[in-house]
Structure 1
């Protein structure tokens, strides 16, 4: 694709990698899903590159980003990174897109910078419902220790996963997703590292909705009809009519980023 370049951003002792594509006058800052990178947003360029300059950062433990702060990422860190991007491109306002895990980060930025956000696009977004296992593993010391133990000794986890599926506590899609995410040592370590370093990025949905209403943020939610990991029902509960929002459900699963999606977004955001 045309007009794409590698992107790097120094922040405190850390170095963030990413991608820039498009030549539009407006700025679109994108946050990727778990195990992916900013480069996955290159497919947006054919549809959105004339409207936006698209900047997609790699989060810690993704792409070439190196997080050297010796502590979890905070909401204030995300806001400071965006301020650096705005300064680099000479902008005061921006639009925001988050896919899967990136949806939770986008909501954290709504809490920090709502007054400067023009459009918010969330695609199969995490952050619309609390996952009790994620909360236990990341927000409690006991849970985090068990999580670390499981990273190195996963046999009990896999037995429990099988039992939960047999007892109907997990549907088949979630079972396969969890098994695939944890079936190798390097995958388990990535899950542990990412969940732990990003454990402070927990948005308040109520506060986000109040801010989205106050600042009239043009919001678009997109889900896959067959997504059993982040189903459309999460969006239906979130989009309660208290803030400006449209919701689309596509005949797909969780993997939604595509050139086609870019054209769908272009047709559904207000100018």
Structure 2
């Protein structure tokens, strides 16, 4: 493991694992760390040397002196490029691959936009960033949604109440409810949720540009979805998939919680 010192941003902590030789920069989902992909021990780990990055407000990554106002304004998209710039300073400019799960797919895709000429493979699991998720967009960009999000995450009782209402209304299923509830049961977790989603609010890849780069450089593209995923389903990604010349697309009998042993076994088969 180690750190990348990202100018104007902070220290990005990463975990190294995998027995393969090909470098792969990996970005996890909310509430996890860069070690999340350890479970793919038979399918992914033998092929790649993984650099699994912790998101800010997760694991060992720390922002450097950012104020509440700066965090709420969001991290500029071009700051993501510093991940590769600083990684190249340590390991030398070379070919690499990227992998992202859920919100982590945003960073993987933004790197692909800029460095597609050096990318061999892109692996996306239940990816955010291929379409607009209306729930997140409302909370992070709509004035009323932003106000509500700030109030809810500062309340001990309101956040669980809103989640229960969303579940009852069918906006989220039981698995998403459990994932979300586990991230709001303490004041610090609620604050981390609020800051995490606001920090990445501007980190949206250009899907058309990404698809064009993948086709231009003939990058191996693997997309994996859960049939019961209500957050980032395959249906929402179909316009993006339709722009690709030759993508490998999988849909498993799972929900949003995809990075588990069952996925490893499926990929091996």
Q: Provide TM-score, normalisation by structure 1.
A: 0.82
Could you say which residue in structure 1 is the equivalent of 2:6?
Answer: 11
Distance of 1:234 and 1:60 partners within structure 2:
27
- Give the Å deviation of 1:110: 2.2
| Aligned mate of 1:40, from 36, 39, 47 | 36
CA deviation digits over 1:41-80, x for unaligned, max 9? 2334554444322111111111111111524333322211
Could you say which residue in structure 2 is the equivalent of 1:204?
Answer: 206
Moved more, 158-167 or 87-96: 158-167
Q: Which runs of 5+ in 1 are unaligned?
A: 1-5
| Aligned mate of 2:221, from 214, 219, 224 | 219
Could you say which residue in structure 2 is the equivalent of 1:3?
Answer: none
Distance of 1:160 and 1:47 partners within structure 2:
38
Distance of 2:56 and 2:23 partners within structure 1:
22
Contact 1:47 1:259 in 2 (8 A): no
Matched, 1:150 2:146: no
- Give the Å deviation of 1:208: 1.8
Contact 2:7 2:82 in 1 (8 A): no
Moved more, 114-123 or 70-79: 70-79
Could you say which residue in structure 2 is the equivalent of 1:124?
Answer: 126
Contact 1:221 1:235 in 2 (8 A): no
- Give the Å deviation of 1:225: 2.8
Equivalences for 1:1-271 in 2 at 5 Å?
A: 6-12=1-7, 14-68=10-64, 70=66, 71=70, 72-153=74-155, 155=157, 159-258=161-260, 261-262=263-264, 265=267
- Give the Å deviation of 1:11: 1.8
Q: Provide TM-score, normalisation by structure 2.
A: 0.83
Partner-residue secondary structure (3-state), 2:64: coil
Cα distance, 1:140–1:230 mapped onto 2, change above 3 Å: closer
- Give the Å deviation of 1:8: 1.6
Contact 1:212 1:244 in 2 (8 A): no
Cα RMSD over matched residues? 2.8
